[in-house]
Amino acid sequence: MIRTITLLYVLLSCACFAESRIQDRELSRTEVHRVSCAPSVVTTVVLPGPITSLDGAGFIADPGLEQGKFLLAFRPGDSFFTVEPLVAKATANLNVMVKGEVYVLLLEDNPADFAYVVRFETVAGAGKPIGKQDKVATDRQLLSLMEVLKGFPLLERFNRDALTGIESTEGTIDWEKLRSGVQYRMVRTIRRDSIDAVAYLFEIRSDRKIVVDYPSVGVSSGNRVYSATIADINAVVEPGETGTVAIVIQGDGRGGRNNLSAGSEVTLQLGELVEAQ
């Protein structure tokens, strides 16, 4: 009995430890937000929208060319960046601009309290966290899932902790007929069950020019059609070229759950505004 209780305590302690390394936090423009990092650990920081600028001292992109306190990787337009301390007990502030607002992050080398992933969520109204009470996904969460979908191969290789809570399925090399002269294939599907959202990455090709009808994009499964909540697509596909269709579907469009898994069989739904011969 004592051994069972001890084992249960250890398992619960490990679970709490793992959860503390993946953090969801509120973001406020009137506070300084501490982000703890550790040497040889990549910490991914996710913001509630595309990052316009990052300003700070001591952050470098290549330790082989320059010296600094933190190694930082970021692409303009992304809603996340990664950071790793290079100096023991290093601290530095990083001012981040998102949607015209500046937020202050204090990065610090703190191995005892580091996080693999820190997801920041803005607050609405009188400090009420968006989507916390009713479990409805926020725009930031859906955009973050879209970024994970498109960056999945790199995250899987270099930062698997960013994929915590993600179910994924790879597509096939086989092309399927969508309509006359137009083919598509599934590249990848991912799902985050906590927000009941599934994301799909397709490729499309055509022997004629097509102009995609953006509101028509979605998937069908069985006798149900699910419209895209957000989409990132090549609106125009020229003859002989390959375009991409990345979509996120949250819920069932009627206030309920879609319950689509990453392995659910789906068919791409995509209309055309113009068909140019």
Q: How far apart are the first and last CA of the chain?
A: 77
Q: Which domains does the chain have, with CATH numbers?
A: 22-134 (2.60.40), 166-276 (2.60.40.1150)
| Distance from C-alpha of 170 to C-alpha of 166, rounded to nearest angstrom | 13
Backbone φ, ψ for residue 255 (5° rounding)? 90, 0
| Distance from C-alpha of 233 to C-alpha of 146, rounded to nearest angstrom | 12
Q: pTM for the full model?
A: 0.52
Q: Can you give the pLDDT at residue 50?
A: 83
The number of beta carbons lying within 10 Å of the beta carbon of residue 225 is: 12
Place of tokens 């290079």: 86
Residue type, 245: V
Q: Can you give the pLDDT at residue 29?
A: 84
| Distance from C-alpha of 38 to C-alpha of 18, rounded to nearest angstrom | 15
Rg over alpha carbons for the chain, rounded to the nearest Å, is 21
Q: Are 34 and 118 within 8 A, CB to CB?
A: no
Q: Which residues, 6+ apart, have CB-to-CB distance to 107 below 8 Å? A: 35, 37, 56, 70, 83, 85, 90, 91, 92, 93, 94
Q: How does pLDDT run along the chain (277 residues), one tens digit per residue? A: 444 434 333 333 333 344 478 888 888 888 999 999 999 999 999 988 888 888 889 998 888 888 899 999 988 777 889 999 999 999 999 999 887 789 999 999 999 989 999 989 875 433 334 333 344 678 888 998 999 999 999 998 888 888 888 999 999 889 999 888 899 999 999 999 888 899 999 999 999 888 888 888 999 988 788 889 999 988 888 998 999 999 999 987 777 777 788 988 999 998 887 554 4
Closest CA to 139 of 178, 98, 111, 86: 98
